[in-house]
Structure 1
């Protein structure tokens, strides 16, 4: 006699995506990649199009701006923004990933260190410096992430590159100084970092450990803010899921910031209704507009129309308009710039 097979688990309903515009300030949890976190919230909001601005390692937590819909058009500008982190560096052990998720490569005793010695090493890693990114990183070579090559055991050489570290400060070194560690644990330093685009905190901690003569790796990492979101109201995944379940989709949407919130620190120009129509047709304006270079284009009411470029003569041309700006374009032969 055969026993009936267990019933198959119920299938999750297929997500019906929709057009949705805005920016979510997500508090990424530990253990998820940035892309996994993005997909979770994209399905939660049913957003047709989404992207994140600047990857966080699975070990890391904290601010991950997620752009939905038309906000993805400004994601590149947020990628290059100044960022701040708090990290815990564990001294005495180097790993192949430069963080706690990697395999230990070398263990060394931690020498007696003074605050002055630590501060001196931090100063060497502040300002415009050269940095070698981690081998296990999302940087691509030949169209493939370096971490994929590293996992296959391929030999990888990575060139140093210029980065900007605006601040690298010691917050706490209590267990290093009081010597009250138990069970042979290695001492830690709690550090604050403010840096520009392309900086790897893991590499900073690795290089700090070498300057201190003992090596080190990132044990904890949290991103505090990303320009222009200096005091972010972040949302955790559980909080968003609870809102969706208990209050509904309309309330969930209220967690989103408008697209304009991501452009507040960029130079901007304002145009009137007729000029906006010309831009919507892809036509340039004579101006004069200032400053030269990439600008945010705003209408008379301060609503963002998209991105533009001001040339050396003050002329403005549209480079990437939002959907609603392009929709305003209509014949305007009599209009003047």
Structure 2
């Protein structure tokens, strides 16, 4: 007998405020159970010691999770100067100390300028990257260390929020793959000292911002009110794609598009990425413009 899949078909995105101390997967599974959702995924892990924006995708929304994973992120964090830890944050023990120069805010901001734009980072040993089939953090926890190659990242914005003695409150908007712990360590070195992250919060991921987040407590309260209250928390799948061009198909074209066929659309946007809707059918998925000017399905997302 085929194994029966558990859960319900629920589609949408829930912008969670991940709490401190919990893993991203743990909170995903907790919310999944509350929704009784059959299919779920998150859009890029946050360390247990980090909090903030963690969009959770359910049902058909999991088809756009990779797009959110690739999106820029914004973090607010504190860099403690004078000591470096094994993990780059407060979880690891101190492995190096150094005096902290008498720094002005102008001197800090001037040093930060060197990190804007395209830069390279050496991934930390305490990361989930794999080498020879093993996670780097597994090698590090066993007392080992391996050579890592620099990886390109992009820093779009880097701001000093406050300079409190030997602590710097900072905010950065960056590309996927950016390690804030490495950024803090590299900035500390540029300032003539060493440093580590003592607080980290993601305040934006793609189109989702801190002000629209839901806490686990709010979700649990909605679950006690019933299914309608839970479903009301979900944002539509296309909320992940606000900057994409869009097109709406008439019923005949909708039929063919849903069958995976390319269709001819008047005034089709000259864009690589297109949101596709059907009259009376809602969001149909992602489309792409073919060289001959027709619209072809890139990924069907059928929530109805």
Same-fold status (TM-score > 0.5): yes
Please, which of 26, 49, 61 is the counterpart of residue 39 of structure 2?
49
1:224 is matched with 203
Classify 1:286/1:243 alpha carbon distance in 2 versus 1 (closer, same or farther; 3 Å).
Answer: closer
Structure 2 counterparts to residues 53-202 of structure 1, below 5 A: 53-174=43-164, 176=165, 187-202=166-181
2:290 is matched with 311
Q: Secondary structure at the match of 2:177?
A: coil
Q: Secondary structure at the match of 1:293?
A: coil
Distance 1:211 1:313 in 2: 52
Please, which of 279, 292, 296 is the counterpart of residue 300 of structure 1?
279
Quick check: which one's strand share is greater? 2
Distance 1:103 1:260 in 2: 44
TM-score by length of 1: 0.83
Alignment of 1:277 with 2:267, yes or no, is no
In structure 1, the gaps of 5 or more residues are: 1-14, 177-186, 326-337
CA contact (8 A) 2:53 2:210 kept: no
CA contact (8 A) 2:289 2:296 kept: yes
Displaced runs of 4 or more, over 4 A:
none
CA contact (8 A) 1:26 1:66 kept: yes
Distance 1:312 1:163 in 2: 32
Alignment of 1:214 with 2:193, yes or no, is yes
CA contact (8 A) 1:25 1:232 kept: no
How far did 1:291 drift?
Answer: 2.5
In structure 2, the gaps of 5 or more residues are: none
How far did 1:191 drift?
Answer: 0.5
Over aligned residues, Cα RMSD in angstroms? 1.9
Q: Deviations over 1:210-260 (max 9, x none)?
A: 111111111000111122124641111122212223x22321221111112
Distance 2:125 2:288 in 1: 37
Alignment of 1:260 with 2:238, yes or no, is yes
Larger radius of gyration: 1
